[in-house]
Amino acid sequence: MRKSQRRTAGVVGTALGALLASPVIALLAIPVASADDLTTIGPYTLDGYTDTFTYDTDTSAFDNFLTGSVDSYPVDLDIYSGAPGSGDSEVLFTIPLLYQGGYEDVDGTISTISTVDAADFFSPDVGLVDLGGVVAPAEGIVTIGPFDLGGYEDTLSVNSDTFALDNFVTGTSNSLPFDVDLFAGAPGSDSSEFVLTVPSLFQVGLDDVDGALTPIFNFDPADFVSPDVGLTLLGGL
């Protein structure tokens, strides 16, 4: 029913090969959750990847979502199969913000998917949507790092749906630990945030919501916002 001829190079081929080389189902000592007619097994760790298997107990349709990283690139592989006899299936491979490829089979009609424009990406776990489930907001968050930045530790997170971003830097200066958080909302949102935190001592910054600026200036740790509050605003917590 399906005929896939995907020619990929570099990290695309390497990452997809590594993901497919891992066994998809390993069902011992795995958490199981149910919602309506959907039963979810996982998430569980599989050879360094995180795998979640969801199936419809009424129709026997299923979705398997595998996520991990290859050569420092985050990667996702989604496999969906509709109810037996439906002729529906889908395979989607995603390198967040960089590449998405695969195929969709609807009633035996196959459409290929191949794009490098992140604005045109489907949800990496689109099979769960096809199944009738809801993708957790945090699944759209792509995190790069942490990596070394001049002796400091830097982590960049991007919402692949809205293109809002958060950058969190932590380190030590003059023997004092500090955190710097920079958040920028979706383009056109007029929302941003900057927070500098010296733990237990002070927190300063600026919060911009729809163009209304609010300064942050506090010496009481009980009133501190999270040092990485931008990740919360991004939907990552």
Burial class (CB in 10 A: 0-12, 13-18, 19+), 173: exposed
**pLDDT computed for residue 26 by the predictor:** 45
Q: How much is the pLDDT for 138? A: 54
Q: Which token pair is 160?
A: 């692949």
pLDDT at site 4: 39
Q: Report DSSP state, residue 210.
A: T
Count CB atoms within 10 A of the CB of residue 27: 10
Instruction: Record the pTM.
Output: 0.55
pLDDT attached to residue 177: 92
DSSP E strands, 71-128: 73-81, 89-95, 99-106, 109-115
* Nearest one of 236, 89, 86 to 160, comparing CA atoms: 236
- What does the domain layout of the chain look like in residue ranges? 11-135, 141-234
Could you tell me which residues come within 8 angstroms of residue 152 by beta carbon, excluding any fewer than 6 positions away? Answer: 169, 170, 171
Task: Tell me if 101 sits within 8 A of 114, measured CB to CB.
Answer: yes
Please, are residues 197 and 176 in contact by the beta-carbon 8 Å criterion?
no
- Read off the amino acid at residue 110: I
Residue 136 pLDDT: 58
What Rg, from alpha-carbon coordinates, does the chain have?
A: 21
pLDDT at 27: 41
DSSP 157-205: EEETTT--EEEEEEEEETTEEEEEEEEE-STTS--EEEEEEETTTEEEE
At 236, list the tokens.
């990552």
Query: How confident is the model over 17-36, as pLDDT tens digits?
Result: 554 444 444 444 455 454 56
Per-residue pLDDT at 196: 94
Cβ proximity of 49 and 23 under 8 Å: no
Give the per-residue pLDDT at 135: 61
* Residue 85: Cβ within 10 Å count: 8
- In angstroms, the first-to-last Cα distance of the chain is 41
Distance CA 206, CA 194 (A): 5
Q: Distance of CA 228 to CAs 197, 224, 225, Å? A: 9, 11, 8
Residue ranges of the chain with per-residue pLDDT less than 50: 1-12, 14, 16, 19-29, 32, 34, 237
